[in-house]
């Protein structure tokens, strides 16, 4: 998917015969100074959204077979390699996309630039997005599904609807829990409808990234490290960790403010299920 986007950017760059945009970003005049500030802070939220994998990092680590080497060692290597590779691709997509489209660079490089050639390349990229999101959606939702279903089983242990299973004969006999089937279907339907009603791609991604980045990616890991390693309070290491946490909190707040400003601006021309 990312390689297709990169190829498309390179083709557009070659067609333009030069580099568009500037080192300082979108020009004042195309947007107001305040709009540029909001967009810049919103961009931090878009970047922070890429750290959402931290939500399932422990879940993945828990499925790794015991040593040798240890789960943490394997996960550390996998994380370093995957983050390095995705960072290179994302940076190339961002830089090449801006060089190709300049101030008119869209939030979604696959749908927002006004041309659809070569169509086969865009179709492959969009198919890759579907495959990626179907799998990612399942992985990211599993902790929430498990939490709700465990809570419901404790709350209504005698309910056959919640804890019972129905046998469905197909090629083989499958056991289906009715609560699980209806709850998960309702959740997927609700999230799909909400996403269709709020088609502000960059703004929503930035806002969600701002909400999840500091508490889940920075604050909790820092506090767990302090407790596990018994870092003395007011030591140099403790102060540096707290400064890191506060700095990331400031970035999250700024990103949330920029994303909310963007959503407010988009709502002025918004028509449900049309824009």
CA distance 220 to 54: 11
The confidence score (pLDDT) of residue 162 equals 87
pLDDT for the residue numbered 30: 67
**What's this model's pTM, rounded to 2 decimal places?**
0.69
Of the candidates 90, 51, 84, which has an alpha carbon nearest to the alpha carbon of residue 215? 51
Q: What is the pLDDT at residue 116?
A: 64
Q: What is the mean pLDDT of each run of 10 residues along the chain (275 residues)?
A: 55 59 70 79 80 71 66 76 82 78 72 64 79 81 89 90 83 85 92 79 81 86 90 92 92 88 79 66
Per-residue model confidence (pLDDT) at position 240: 94
DSSP notation for 105-131 = --SSTTTSSS---SHHHHHHHHHHHHH
Asked if residue 68 has a cis previous peptide bond (ω within 30° of 0), the answer is yes
Write down the pLDDT at residue 113: 58
CB 203 within 8 A of CB 259: yes
d(CA 93, CA 5): 7
Q: What is the pLDDT of residue 11?
A: 58
Q: Supply the pLDDT for residue 150.
A: 92
Q: How far is CA 98 from CA 113, 123, 206, 269, in A?
A: 12, 22, 18, 25
């Amino acid at each position: 998917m990312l390689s297709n986007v990169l190829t498309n950017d390179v083709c557009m760059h070659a067609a333009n015969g030069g580099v568009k945009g500037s080192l300082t970003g979108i020009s004042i005049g195309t947007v107001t100074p305040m709009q540029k500030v909001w967009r810049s802070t919103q961009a931090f939220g878009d970047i922070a959204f890429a750290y959402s994998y931290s939500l399932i990092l422990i879940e993945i680590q828990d499925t790794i077979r015991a040593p040798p080497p240890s789960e943490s060692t394997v996960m550390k290597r996998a994380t370093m390699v995957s983050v390095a590779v995705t960072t290179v691709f994302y940076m190339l997509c961002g830089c090449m996309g801006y060089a190709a489209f300049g101030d008119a660079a869209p939030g979604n490089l696959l749908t927002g630039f006004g041309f659809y050639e070569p169509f086969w390349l865009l179709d492959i990229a969009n198919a890759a997005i579907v495959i990626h999101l179907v799998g990612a959606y399942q992985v990211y939702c599993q902790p929430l599904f498990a939490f709700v279903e465990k809570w419901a089983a404790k709350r209504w242990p005698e309910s056959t609807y919640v804890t019972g299973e129905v046998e469905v004969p197909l090629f083989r006999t499958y056991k289906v829990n009715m609560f699980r089937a209806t709850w998960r279907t309702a959740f997927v339907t609700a999230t799909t409808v909400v996403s269709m009603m709020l088609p502000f791609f960059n703004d929503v991604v930035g806002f969600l990234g701002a909400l999840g980045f500091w508490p889940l990616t920075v604050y909790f890991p820092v506090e767990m490290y302090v407790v596990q390693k018994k870092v003395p309070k007011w030591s140099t290491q403790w102060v540096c960790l707290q400064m890191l946490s506060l700095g990331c909190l400031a970035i999250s707040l700024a990103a949330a403010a920029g994303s909310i400003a963007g959503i407010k601006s988009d709502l002025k021309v918004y028509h449900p299920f049309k824009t």
